Amino acid sequence: MNRDRAALEALDREDPLRGFRQRFALPEGVLYLDGNSLGALPRAAMARLERTVEEEWGEGLITSWLAADWMEAPRRVGDKIAALIGAGPGEVIVADSTSVNVFKAVTAALSLRPERSVILSETGNFPTDLYMMQGIAAFSGGRVRAEAVAGDAVLGRLGEDVAVLLLTQVHYKTGAVHDMAEVTRAAHAAGALVVWDLSHSAGAIPVDLNGAGADFAVGCGYKFLNGGPGAPAYLFAAQRHHGAAVPVLSGWLGHAEPFAFEDGYRPAEGIARFLCGTPPVLGMAALECGVDLMAEADMGALRDKSLRLGRIFMELMETHCGEFGFTLVSPREDARRGSQVSFAHPQGYGIMQALKERGVIGDFRAPDVLRFGLTPLYLRYGDMLDAVLQIRAVCETRAWDDPRWKVRAAVT
Ligand SMILES: Cc1ncc(COP(=O)(O)O)c(C=O)c1O
């Protein structure tokens, strides 16, 4: 395939998603390959936040809980996210962080399998998922055990003691994709429930929770959904579990009648029982803009472009950086790759810092992985060539070999 600049620019001219880029406020001279970590700023969010702060908060004050529909935002935005992940209305709620939602979903699933004791996951899963499992086990006083096995051993480990399987659909480091339908089927056949972490899936690949028969899911608002730093997360619970799944984080807003101020907790009907405390209104307003924008895009076109960006990036790396010792850690096969391409390199940390100084922003994940997020809404095919040529320049000049980067920063 011809991957010279003219060929890539021709692809950009024909790109059905090309109009989306101008809907984001992207800094000049920056190639942003980190939308899988923190999505870019939708222009609509700037105006929306101004209005929410000045009018709704400043003038409406507390009346805005009703007048500006703040109270309904967790359900309203949840329904919009539901449409992106194959869930139905009333099955997704926006609340809390992904970590807290992992806790809520796993404990709810445990409440549906009281005779079983194991929470199962894969080694190398995103740490917060593993840590939450470990915290739940520690708190359970011996009732529950947390166990992680290698990815290819997960299905074989399913057995009569496994209550919940917790997996991230698209791996945060490698971008490898689990087959949600197949894994869910196997878990159900073994009598277990599944909690899917969709942090790197929603807005990145087509997701069909109900098509796969999923039980619970959680995910981040600030990555591919472009909801802003620290955006609230979301939780999916399949309708069939709403009645019996008992929330352990039994906060007042998940009560059947919060404003009855009863002493005893009675869970709300439906997804609202997974609310806990007061929703973060400003974060929710920004998130809604990101979700609305994503909802305008055709998921088929998005996936096509994401995969093609990935193929082009990998090919260009082979052509221009083949001699510099990068090892591809993402699956080459389209069906198994999410919306990122990652390479391992012994000097990965220094290379990424040198790239950032040159305006190419990706990130580094210990011990040696350079992650490049490919976000089809605002990246261009030509950007792939520019990024790879900068990587080449960093390697040729050994710009990574700088004393400033011998000590790692708090955020990598
Ligand atoms: C798979 C996965 N789960 C969870 C999180 C983070 O959760 P939280 O929003 O609670 O920090 C991340 C963050 O990168 C992630 O990649």
Distance 199 CA to ligand 1 centre (A): 6
CB atoms closer than 10 angstroms to residue 211: 12
- Say if ligand 1 is within 6 A of residue 220 CB: yes
Report the atom number in ligand 1 closest to the C-alpha of 230: 9
Active-site choice (79, 96, 129, 197): 197
**114 pLDDT above the threshold of 80:** yes
> Using 50, 70 and 90 to split pLDDT, how confident is the model at 62?
very high
pLDDT in tens, 323-333: 999 999 999 99
- Say if ligand 1 is within 6 A of residue 128 CB: yes
Report the C-alpha gap between 224 and 83 in whole angstroms.
15
**246 pLDDT above the threshold of 90:** no
Residue 209: closest CA among 196, 219, 225: 196
Looking at residues 235-259, what average pLDDT do you find?
A: 96
Active-site choice (3, 116, 223, 305): 223
Q: What is the DSSP string of 324-372?
A: G--EE-S-SSGGGB-SEEEEE-TTHHHHHHHHHHTTEE-EEETTTEEEE
Residue minimizing CA distance to atom 5 of ligand 1: 98
> For this structure, is 173 an active site residue?
no
- Say if ligand 1 is within 6 A of residue 168 CB: yes
Report the C-alpha gap between 119 and 106 in whole angstroms.
8
Tokens of 371: 């992650």
Report the C-alpha gap between 161 and 117 in whole angstroms.
6
Can you give the pLDDT at residue 409? Answer: 87
Contacts of 363 (CB under 8 A, 6+ apart): 34, 37, 352, 370, 371, 373, 412
> Using 50, 70 and 90 to split pLDDT, how confident is the model at 285?
very high
> Using 50, 70 and 90 to split pLDDT, how confident is the model at 231?
very high
Distance 220 CA to ligand 1 centre (A): 6
Token pair 């990145």: residue: 204
> Using 50, 70 and 90 to split pLDDT, how confident is the model at 369?
very high
Report the atom number in ligand 1 closest to the C-alpha of 97: 10
Contacts of 334 (CB under 8 A, 6+ apart): 307, 310, 311
Can you give the pLDDT at residue 411? Answer: 85
Report the C-alpha gap between 121 and 165 in whole angstroms.
6
- Say if ligand 1 is within 6 A of residue 363 CB: no
Cβ–Cβ under 8 Å, residues 45 and 400: no
Can you give the pLDDT at residue 313? Answer: 98
* C-alpha dist (Å) from residue 405 to 157, 401, 409: 42, 8, 8
* C-alpha dist (Å) from residue 196 to 81, 183, 200, 219, 341: 15, 10, 11, 8, 21
Where is 162: in which H helix or E strand?
A: strand 162-168
Cβ–Cβ under 8 Å, residues 202 and 85: yes
Can you give the pLDDT at residue 183? Answer: 98
Beta bridge partners of 148: 121
Where is 207: in which H helix or E strand?
A: none
Cβ–Cβ under 8 Å, residues 319 and 8: no
> For this structure, is 126 an active site residue?
yes
Report the C-alpha gap between 262 and 39 in whole angstroms.
41
Pairing of strands 216-219, 234-237: antiparallel
Residue minimizing CA distance to atom 4 of ligand 1: 98
Backbone angles phi and psi of 341, in degrees to 5: -130, 130
Q: What is the pTM of this model?
A: 0.97
> For this structure, is 197 an active site residue?
yes
HSE value, Cβ hemisphere, 13 Å, CA-based, for 283: 18
- Say if ligand 1 is within 6 A of residue 101 CB: no
**1 pLDDT above the threshold of 80:** no
> Using 50, 70 and 90 to split pLDDT, how confident is the model at 408?
confident
**407 pLDDT above the threshold of 90:** no
Distance 172 CA to ligand 1 centre (A): 9
Distance 119 CA to ligand 1 centre (A): 18
Token pair 């995910």: residue: 219
Mean per-residue pLDDT of the chain: 97
